[in-house]
């Protein structure tokens, strides 16, 4: 489903070249729950950006759902992001001026779905995260955990190929973090693939696979739940 | 445009910036609509027909200084000679120049006696060449005969018996009669002195361009016995400059104890007369351009500020699948909504300001054709102003969504 082979990413300034990813290879299969960890500057956010089609790469091959993304233009990448990937951000990235309904609606509008279908998907996804009764509230009226649940609902509403979570519990206290992780586990149980970048090892242990990144390379892969995971990296 | 609902709801929750832009648009629109209205009203004044053949006319002033200066002799012989010059159509001595803002005015009344209603009019003294020199047509009656023309000086109190009136003056005096019926009627000058209307002229303006009854003018068959004399000359079509040279040369060569001075074309007279109006137009245009630039810059500033404040949000939208065109469309739609509010407030403001100007300064009522034109202009200004910032917003990388600083 997600296959990265020898991906290289170099950030250049006038004086410095930073090799963010070096020969980075990883395969994620359908139904996986993969945690990517590593210290600051290890390249895990760069991996997430490239995996999420938010950033280009210099070399290597990246195939998403059987399609090479290397030569896609901005419009094609946007469509692919919209249809195949659900994003969950550390800071939730909800739009503060929009209520929960409109926030979940944002990616669906870009897909130009009918109003009725959008409404059905929004209500269903907010129901999945337990916030169906608060869809007219503003993000500022919710706790951090609830806001992250809305972000998860927004990611789920588009029926993505996989969820890409960037430190989803990084801004939450331990109780809320546990609640969000439980929700992600439940979602994964229903067959949704999840790739999660985190530096919290205890959260990473709850994924099926735990990938450690250092200096832009995969240094170690562990099967946290070997009975459920398939390693192809 | 599919984003109108969320954009509107978002604006409703974040009103201050939007209201500032809307207010700026409303004020700008209110001012430019009325300024353009004033410009066009001044333009209508400036472009009014004087009734003259302005392109081919000029006047020249002769001032006698010799102690034995014989004004009637000099005037008659000057005019005879000028009329024979090859580039001249006709010439006449005249007491006032149309549009020059200096001249004579009198009151005419249809009944004799003190206290009767009188109608103000400009008074031009010419001989029987007046109509042809001025290029004024008679629509009824007949011209003066040469025998009717007499000299008068500043002590003369009597008036000649015949008079020519403009149609506007004639119908003002006799609103129920046609021009043909007005010919032969008697009007009274200086309350009791009768004048017989022998002809009706199509159009001739008074000398004062700001006069409310500018189309009221009359010709009387008089020449003025004075050392100071003005000749109005009508050149043959296209030969005005040659005519000026020929007339000046003739008059300067003639040794009759006088100076020739102040030759001015009617084109220059019109420019001088309406210089204040032209200046006002230029000032108002400058204000309009400055206001439009300030409004556009205001929109650029506020939209740029808004975009900088929402960089993460824009990145998030891009991450969630927005194409660059969606981001452009978002900010253009947002601006059109805000500008539209300002425009509709501006329509009300324009009408209100015009009503105040009409009641306070007796200005003409606003022509409503300006409103849709101004609305379109403000929308275009708004779109052009937001285009650059929106284009920059569309370039924000989707990776901005994952940056935590």
Encode pLDDT of B191-213 as tens digits: 899 999 999 999 999 999 989 99
CA B201, B202, B204 angle in degrees (round to 5)?
A: 80
B322 and A89 within 8 Å at the Cβ level: the answer is no
A193-197/A162-166 β-pairing: parallel
Domain ranges of chain A: 2-223
Whether pTM > 0.80 for this model: the answer is no
pLDDT of residue A224: 67
Distance CA B95, CA A58 (A): 91
pLDDT in tens, chain B (405 residues): 567 888 888 888 878 888 999 999 999 999 999 999 999 989 998 999 898 999 999 999 999 999 989 999 999 999 999 999 999 999 999 999 999 999 999 999 999 988 888 999 999 999 999 999 999 999 999 999 999 999 998 888 889 999 999 999 999 999 999 999 999 999 999 889 999 999 999 999 999 998 999 999 999 999 999 999 999 999 999 999 999 999 999 999 998 899 998 899 999 999 999 999 999 999 999 999 999 999 999 999 989 998 999 999 999 999 999 999 999 999 999 999 999 999 999 999 999 999 999 999 888 888 889 999 999 999 999 999 999 999 999 999 999 988 765
Domain ranges of chain B: 4-47+275-402, 66-256
pLDDT of residue A114: 93
ipTM of the complex: 0.92
pLDDT of residue A225: 60
Best residue of A84, A86, A90, A109 to probe chain B, by most B CBs closer than 10 Å:
A109
Q: Minimal CA–CA distance to B247: which of B234, B238, B228?
A: B234
Q: Minimal CA–CA distance to B119: which of B213, B201, B204?
A: B213
B193-201/A33-37 β-pairing: unpaired
Partners of B402 on chain A (C-beta within 8 Å) are: 45, 48-49, 52, 54, 89-90, 166
A95 and B313 within 8 Å at the Cβ level: the answer is yes
Q: In angstroms, what CA-CA distances link B162 with A167, B65, B127, B144, B149?
A: 105, 33, 12, 7, 9
A67-68/A33-37 β-pairing: unpaired
Sign of CA dihedral B270, B275, B276, B281: positive
**Residues pairing with A63 in the sheet:** A3, A68
pLDDT in tens, chain A (233 residues): 899 999 999 999 888 889 999 999 999 999 999 999 999 889 999 999 999 999 999 999 999 999 999 999 999 999 999 999 999 999 999 999 999 999 999 999 999 899 999 999 999 999 999 999 999 999 999 999 999 999 999 999 999 989 999 999 988 888 889 999 999 999 999 889 999 999 888 889 999 999 999 999 988 777 766 544 444 44
Q: Locate the chain B residue with the closest alpha carbon to A154.
A: B320
Partners of A138 on chain B (C-beta within 8 Å) are: 13
Contact call for residues B98 and B283 (beta carbons, < 8 A): no
- Could you tell me which residues come within 8 angstroms of residue A167 by beta carbon, excluding any fewer than 6 positions away? A90, A197, A198, A199
Tell me the CA end-to-end span of chain A in Å, nearest whole number.
Answer: 12
Distance CA B318, CA A81 (A): 9
B9 and A99 within 8 Å at the Cβ level: the answer is yes
- For residue A113, give both structure tokens: 């779905």
Partners of B13 on chain A (C-beta within 8 Å) are: 97, 138
How many Å lie between the alpha carbon of B313 and the closest alpha carbon of chain A? 6
How many Å lie between the alpha carbon of B8 and the closest alpha carbon of chain A? 10
- Which of A78, A102, A166 has its CB closest to that of B321? A78
pLDDT of residue A232: 42
Q: How far is CA A43 from the centre of its chain?
A: 15
Q: Locate the chain B residue with the closest alpha carbon to A101.
A: B6
- Which of B3, B5, B321 has its CB closest to that of A107? B321
Distance CA B126, CA B133 (A): 10
Q: Coil, strand or helix: which one is B196?
A: strand
**Residue appearing with tokens 């390693």:** A231
**Residue appearing with tokens 């309904």:** A101
Encode pLDDT of B126-179 as tens digits: 999 999 999 999 999 999 999 999 999 888 888 999 999 999 999 999 999 999
Burial bucket for residue A79 (CB in 10 Å: 0-12, 13-18, 19+): middle
CA A117, A119, A120 angle in degrees (round to 5)?
A: 65
Question: Could you give phi then psi for residue A92, rounded to 5 degrees?
Answer: 70, -40
Partners of A166 on chain B (C-beta within 8 Å) are: 402
Distance CA B175, CA B192 (A): 21
Tell me the CA end-to-end span of chain B in Å, nearest whole number.
Answer: 32
pLDDT of residue B1: 55
Which one-letter DSSP state was computed for residue B251? H
Q: Which fold has domain A2-223?
A: Rossmann fold (3.40.50)
A79 and B401 within 8 Å at the Cβ level: the answer is no
């Amino acid at each position: 489903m997600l296959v990265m082979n020898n991906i290289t990413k170099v950030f250049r300034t006038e004086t410095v070249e930073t090799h963010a990813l070096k020969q980075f290879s990883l395969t994620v299969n359908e139904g996986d729950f993969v945690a990517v960890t590593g210290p600051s500057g290890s390249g895990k956010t760069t991996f997430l950006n490239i995996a999420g089609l938010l950033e280009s790469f210099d070399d290597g091959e990246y195939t998403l759902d059987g399609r090479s993304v290397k030569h896609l233009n901005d419009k094609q990448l946007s469509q692919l992001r919209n249809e195949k990937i659900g994003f969950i951000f550390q800071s939730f990235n909800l739009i503060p001026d929009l209520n929960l309904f409109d926030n979940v609606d944002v990616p669906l509008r870009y897909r130009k779905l009918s109003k009725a279908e959008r409404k059905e998907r929004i209500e269903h996804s907010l129901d999945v995260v337990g916030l169906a009764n608060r869809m007219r509230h503003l993000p500022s009226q919710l706790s951090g955990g609830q806001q992250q649940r809305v972000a998860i609902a927004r990611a789920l509403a588009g029926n993505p190929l996989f969820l890409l979570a960037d430190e989803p519990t990084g801004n939450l206290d331990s109780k809320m973090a546990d609640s969000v992780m439980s929700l992600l586990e439940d979602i994964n149980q229903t067959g949704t693939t999840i790739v999660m970048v985190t530096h919290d090892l205890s959260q990473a242990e709850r994924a099926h696979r735990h990938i450690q990144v250092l200096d832009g390379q995969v240094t170690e892969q562990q099967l946290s739940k070997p009975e459920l995971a398939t390693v192809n990296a | 445009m599919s984003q109108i609902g969320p954009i509107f709801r978002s604006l409703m929750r974040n009103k201050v910036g939007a209201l500032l832009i809307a207010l700026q648009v409303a004020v700008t629109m209110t001012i430019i609509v009325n300024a353009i209205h004033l410009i066009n009203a001044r333009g209508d004044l400036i472009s009014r027909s004087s009734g003259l053949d302005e392109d081919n006319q000029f006047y020249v002033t002769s001032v006698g200084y010799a102690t034995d200066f014989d004004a009637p002799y000099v005037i008659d012989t000057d005019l005879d000679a000028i009329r024979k010059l090859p580039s001249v159509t006709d010439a006449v001595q005249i007491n006032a120049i149309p549009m020059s803002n200096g001249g004579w005015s009198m009151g005419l009344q249809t009944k004799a006696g003190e206290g009767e209603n009188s109608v103000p009019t400009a008074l031009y003294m010419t001989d029987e060449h007046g109509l042809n020199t001025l290029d004024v047509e008679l629509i009824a009656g007949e011209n003066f005969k040469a025998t009717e023309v007499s000299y008068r000086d500043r002590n003369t109190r009597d008036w000649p018996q015949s008079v020519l009136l403009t149609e506007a003056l004639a119908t003002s005096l006799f609103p129920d009669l046609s021009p043909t019926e007005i010919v032969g009627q008697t009007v009274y000058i200086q309350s009791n002195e009768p004048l017989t209307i022998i002809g009706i002229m199509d159009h001739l303006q008074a000398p004062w361009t700001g006069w409310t009854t500018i189309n009221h003018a009359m010709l009387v068959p008089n020449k003025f016995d004075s050392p100071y004399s003005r000749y109005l000359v009508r050149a043959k079509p296209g030969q005005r400059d040659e005519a000026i040279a020929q007339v000046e040369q003739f008059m300067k060569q003639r040794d009759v104890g006088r100076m020739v001075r102040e030759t001015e074309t009617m084109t220059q007279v019109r420019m001088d007369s309406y210089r204040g109006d032209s200046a006002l137009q230029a000032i108002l245009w400058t204000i309009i351009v400055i206001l439009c630039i300030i409004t556009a810059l205001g929109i650029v500033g506020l939209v740029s500020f808004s975009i900088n404040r929402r960089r993460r949000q824009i990145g998030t939208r891009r991450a969630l699948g927005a194409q660059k065109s969606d981001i452009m469309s978002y900010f253009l739609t947002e601006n059109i909504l805000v500008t539209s509010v300002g425009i509709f407030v501006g329509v009300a403001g324009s009408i209100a300001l015009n009503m105040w100007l009409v009641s306070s300064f007796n200005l003409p009522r606003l022509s409503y054709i300006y409103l849709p034109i101004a609305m379109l202009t403000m929308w275009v200004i708004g779109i052009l102003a937001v285009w650059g910032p929106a284009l920059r917003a569309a370039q924000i990388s989707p990776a901005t969504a994952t940056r935590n600083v």
